[in-house]
Structure 1
Amino acid sequence: MNKIKHPSKTLTVQEEGSGQRLDNYLSRVTKRQLPRSRIHHMIRSGEVRVNQGRCSASTKLTAGDRVRIPPFFAKEQQKHNPHPAIVAQFFKDIIYEDNSLLAINKPSGLACHGGSGISLGLIEHLRILRPQQKFLELAHRLDRDTSGIVLIAKKKSTLIALHTLFRDHEIDKRYLAIIEGKFRNSYQRINLPLSTKIHNNEKKAFIDKINGKESITEVFLLLRGNDYSLIEAHPLSGRTHQIRIHLSTIGHPILGDKKYNPTLTTKKLLLHAHRISFLHPLTNQTITLSSPIPKKFIMCAKKNHLKMFTNIDHRALLSTQQLVDMIESVRQ
């Protein structure tokens, strides 16, 4: 496949780029010809400069900033066809939509965006399936193997507003997870500072009590079995892999977690972003969205005899009907 050389250039950030993360800005101005891994490498190595200074991928740009982009080679863009299974499921997975945003139930195994050997992620599928939509951007991300609700902005103003809500911790996110062992407490607050490192080209979190950032996760026990427990996790901060490393550190790793669970009793990561609540950026009304419990949870429950679970704690914000349905399906 032919490669095209793009010369270095310095761009002035316009108003529509104000408030955008540097990595997202670079992806947009290079017309998504570069994988995320390459963009992040260019930033880390100092090849990319903002106002002649070094920067990070999460640097927020403002109108008037000068961004230097080094020379790069990019493959001629191919026309990608969305996976047929994703196309068939696409409209079923949208759980909310209005003129400014949409929420979609991302399946496990689908990355939020392409890069690092992944040609099409969730956002690329959306753009291909909705060519008439001029603006579609991820407001946040889930790990590739985590399923659940992802918010997509359909307007630049909505994207900026959602980023502000996430930054100020004004978006309430709840996750379901099946973890190893008997979780003894009905409620536990985990406060362990985290840092990240790159190992074998993969980002990994670790406990860092000296230089780590404050990271807090609330854990509610929903169901307890002999060998496994179902919990709801409420992250009060938004660190990389926060829930996964916190649960692993206290001795209750998530089933199927290839990074933080050495036993790996199942191939699927049993972590699901099942509920999100926030003030709508335009209407200022509270929106609470929930997504169905994935079949993989039900299948794992049956396989691991979770019908033995007891001690349901209704203080956790789990849909009562979802919980009843899950328990009934396990008992069948």
Structure 2
Amino acid sequence: MKTQTSAKFREPVSVSVQVVTVEPGRGGQRIDNFLSGRLKGVPRSLIYRILRTGQVRVNGRRAKPETRLEDGDEVRIPPVRVAERESGAAPAGDQLARIERAIVHEDRDFLVLDKPSGVASHGGSGVNFGAIELLRAARPRDTLELVHRLDRDTSGVLVLARRRPALTGLQAAIREGRATKRYLALVRGHLARARLTVDAPLRKSILQGGERMVRVDPEGKDSVSHFIELERHPGASFVEVAIDTGRTHQIRVHGAHIGHPLAGDDKYGDKAFNKLMREAGLRRLFLHAARFEFSLGERDYSFSAPLPADLRGVLDALQKRKHHG
């Protein structure tokens, strides 16, 4: 994908305090996603800032980013400075074509992407157009909402809902542990056992500038990952990771916590290991969302995306290195 130029902006305009009532059928949505929909053009870093500083209130109480709304809730939104995009600031045609090619399934309820690495799930923090914005531009008549997110550098299955009941139904399945997500990753070293379960609470902090960092913390949220060794390579293991919870950066932080950081991870990884993997041809984070399965009503869903060619090439290079000693 070509390097994206920054969108041009008009002079910021002031927005007064808003008090919004959550419409029937809209309950279950996280407050940060609700605000993103209401405050078009506002960076997510600013949305998180007004949440952290207690300026957003739900029924008179301070809201946290993970607060979920109920039908009829009253949301107080403070004045913010909104940078309005000029009408000419639209995604490039090649971006739209690329995201259309990435669609692997669609029906009346869901649209599923095999998201390329390097494409954010949504815009913000210096990214003008994420997958959701590109798809909305490509499908202007569709109503599309992200069900979950993938890190920008993670490739693979990303599910979007086309109808509100599908969105709330699947989000409830994820919260209640009734959805299965499986990832493929390359990690440093060899697991002590064929299957390792990591049960370590995670706590998220947002640094100045909007960068998110996550660490293992007893005061954090329950987080469980299962690492299953598939192949051994010199100094590395190709693993499948099943997650019971979907915390930010969960697999990356859990891998580092047990001494098996992910290949190509510039935030939580190991520099020397990353250098060795670059010599094997790795150019990005080796993490791929391979499978997403759930049941909704009477229907079972199973979405999958094969390991991309660039990551397969790294495994082939490591296999050759093993045979040539």
Q: TM over 0.5, yes or no?
A: yes
Give 2:301's aligned residue.
287
Unaligned runs of 5+ in 2: 1-9
Asked if residue 115 in structure 1 is aligned to residue 120 in structure 2, the reply is no
SS in 2 for 1:245: helix
May I ask how many residue pairs the two structures share in their alignment?
Answer: 305
Asked if residue 256 in structure 1 is aligned to residue 256 in structure 2, the reply is no
SS in 2 for 1:217: strand
Give 1:18's aligned residue.
27
Could you tell me which amino acid in structure 1 is paired with residue 307 of structure 2? I
Change (3 A) 1:259 1:52: same
Give 1:241's aligned residue.
249
Unaligned runs of 5+ in 1: 311-330
Could you tell me which amino acid in structure 2 is paired with residue 276 of structure 1? F
Could you tell me which amino acid in structure 2 is paired with residue 288 of structure 1? S
Q: C-alpha displacement at 1:240, in angstroms?
A: 1.6
Q: C-alpha displacement at 1:35, in angstroms?
A: 1.4
Q: C-alpha displacement at 1:21, in angstroms?
A: 1.2
Give 2:84's aligned residue.
76
Give 1:105's aligned residue.
114
1:253-307 superposed Cα distances (whole Å, 9 cap, x missing partner): 111101111313244000000111111x35x22111210211221222244x224
Within a 5 Å distance, the mapping from 1:113-262 to structure 2 comes to: 113-133=122-142, 135-200=143-208, 201-208=210-217, 210-262=218-270
Q: C-alpha displacement at 1:309, in angstroms?
A: 6.5
SS in 2 for 1:165: helix
* RMSD between aligned residues: 1.9
Change (3 A) 1:66 1:81: same
Percent same amino acid among aligned pairs? 37
Could you tell me which amino acid in structure 2 is paired with residue 203 of structure 1? R
Change (3 A) 1:83 1:251: farther
Change (3 A) 1:77 1:199: closer
Could you tell me which amino acid in structure 2 is paired with residue 231 of structure 1? V
Provide the C-alpha distance between the structure 2 equivalents of 1:239 and 1:73, rounded to a whole number of angstroms.
30
Q: C-alpha displacement at 1:182, in angstroms?
A: 2.5
Within a 5 Å distance, the mapping from 1:85-104 to structure 2 comes to: 85-104=94-113
TM-score (norm 1): 0.87
Give 2:14's aligned residue.
5
Give 1:326's aligned residue.
none
1:11-47 superposed Cα distances (whole Å, 9 cap, x missing partner): 11111432211111112223x2211111111111111
Q: C-alpha displacement at 1:308, in angstroms?
A: 6.0
Provide the C-alpha distance between the structure 2 equivalents of 1:50 and 1:137, rounded to a whole number of angstroms.
22
Give 1:59's aligned residue.
67
Contact 1:178 1:229 survives alignment (8 Å): yes
Provide the C-alpha distance between the structure 2 equivalents of 1:307 and 1:184, rounded to a whole number of angstroms.
24
Asked if residue 274 in structure 1 is aligned to residue 290 in structure 2, the reply is yes
Q: C-alpha displacement at 1:109, in angstroms?
A: 1.0
Contact 2:23 2:71 survives alignment (8 Å): yes
Provide the C-alpha distance between the structure 2 equivalents of 1:58 and 1:21, rounded to a whole number of angstroms.
6
Contact 1:193 1:207 survives alignment (8 Å): yes
SS in 2 for 1:15: coil
